[in-house]
Amino acid sequence: IFGSYIDKDRSLTGEALNVLILDTFVALMAGLVIFPACFAYGIEPGQGPSLIFITLPNVFNNMAMGRFWGTLFFLFMSFAAMSTVVAVFQNIMSFAMDITGCSAKKAAAVNLPIVLILSLPCLLGFNVLSWIQPLGEGTGILDLEDFIVSNNLLPLGSLIYLLFCTSRYGWGFKNFLAEANEGKGIKFPAGLRVYVSFIIPLILLVIFVQGYISFFG
């Protein structure tokens, strides 16, 4: 989302690698903390979204100073969630401003209530609307939204973006290469054209199909 705001003096490839390394490191560190704790207290770690709101609170309840560590965990998670919300909302804002030509204030005034209203089912899915189990017993609205995003929008969206950047029917690989390598920093290898044009799309399709098999299998 913020790639379009990066200064032209810095290459997109180098910045993408920095994000990739940092994101992977943080995810691994989080896994090293969460999963051993789940196994130590005999709690199932593979519960999807409910891992955060149901499983982890049970872990904190069994820990010394659990309330303190739990408070810190959810506080930091709130910071992470807010940064993600800002990034996603900026995308919505930019889209509205580009399409309609309106100001940032007007785009925020229109889209903020819409986002809040659309967020209510997920929020109420753990209490008032907990009787709604769209994907079977024990599931909630958040599970449905997670399935739509994680199993559909992310892999298929990535595939569409990839094909647009590499296909001659879209942006084209040469244009993509020129944009990715503009500025100082690590350059995207031109020799990876076959890999990004054919192999990665195949991998994304496998991930998409495997997601459905593991979910409904």
Whether residue 137 is contained in a domain is answered as yes
Average of pLDDT values for 119-137? 90
CB proximity list for 183: less than 8 A, separation 6 or greater: 7, 8, 9, 10, 11, 12
Whether residue 106 is contained in a domain is answered as no
Render pLDDT for 160-202 as a digit per residue (tens, 0 to 9).
999 999 998 899 999 999 988 888 889 999 999 999 999 999 9
Q: Is 33 exposed, middle or buried (0-12, 13-18, 19+ CB in 10 A)?
A: exposed
Whether residue 29 is contained in a domain is answered as no
Q: How many domains does the chain have?
A: 1
Whether residue 11 is contained in a domain is answered as no
Domain span at 169: 132-216
Whether residue 53 is contained in a domain is answered as no
Render pLDDT for 35-57 as a digit per residue (tens, 0 to 9).
887 777 776 666 666 677 777 78
Q: How far apart are CA 178 and CA 200, in angstroms?
A: 20
pLDDT at 4 over 80: no
CB proximity list for 25: less than 8 A, separation 6 or greater: none
Whether residue 70 is contained in a domain is answered as no
Render pLDDT for 96-126 as a digit per residue (tens, 0 to 9).
998 999 999 999 999 999 989 998 998 899 8
pTM score above 0.75: no
Whether residue 175 is contained in a domain is answered as yes
Q: According to the model, what pLDDT value does residue 50 have? A: 63
Q: According to the model, what pLDDT value does residue 66 have? A: 84
Instruction: Give residue 209's pLDDT band: very low, low, confident or very high (50, 70, 90).
Output: very high
Whether residue 212 is contained in a domain is answered as yes
What one-character DSSP code corresponds to residue 126? T
pLDDT at 159 over 90: yes
Q: According to the model, what pLDDT value does residue 214 have? A: 86
